[in-house]
Amino acid sequence: MRLTVIGTGYLGAVHAACMVSIGHEVLGMDADEDKISQLAEGRSPFFEPGLEELLYSGVRSERLRFTDSMADATRFGDVLASAEEDRSDTTRASVTSRSRPDLGSAADAWPRTCVRCRPGLRNSAQRTPPHS
């Protein structure tokens, strides 16, 4: 299966590398050109045990690629996965209160993304919890 992952932060980069490790072909897309450059060389822009080995192996096999082009990303995959960090305000959250997820980044991104999607493209959205 060909999979496009929009967002290559903690969730997206790990998801992309793991999907390649089980045999899929993956294109990761992010607007951060520095992050894309690192990932395209098989280097992780953050520490996650075992990730750099998976990235390097996937890039070397040519089953894992990265781009900053939304047009390329929406043309590539059979499935499009959006992997963005939840921007919730954690400063007000406590054990006794509930914070609401801020889906603003997804709300901003999906109209631009979906206008480029071809009919029949499956999509999924994933969110990481906010960092405190």
Please count the other Cβ atoms lying within 10 Å of the Cβ belonging to residue 63: 17
Give the whole-angstrom CA distance, residue 29 versus residue 14: 13
pLDDT of residue 39: 97
pLDDT of residue 108: 53
CA atoms within a 13 Å half-sphere pointing along the CA-CB vector of 112: 11
Walk along the chain (132 residues) and give the pLDDT tens digit of each residue.
999 999 999 899 999 999 999 999 999 999 999 999 999 999 999 999 999 999 999 999 999 999 999 889 888 988 888 876 655 444 434 334 444 444 445 445 554 555 455 555 555 555 555 544
Q: Which residues of 118-131 are buried (b: 16+ CB within 10 A; e: fewer)?
A: eeebebeeebeebe
Q: Which of 108, 27, 97 is nearest to 68 (CA)?
A: 27
Residues 6+ apart with CB under 8 A from 102: 86, 87, 88, 89
pTM (2 decimals)? 0.73
pLDDT of residue 78: 85
pLDDT of residue 74: 84
pLDDT of residue 3: 93
Q: Residue 110 in contact with residue 68, Cβ under 8 Å? A: no
pLDDT of residue 70: 87
pLDDT of residue 21: 96
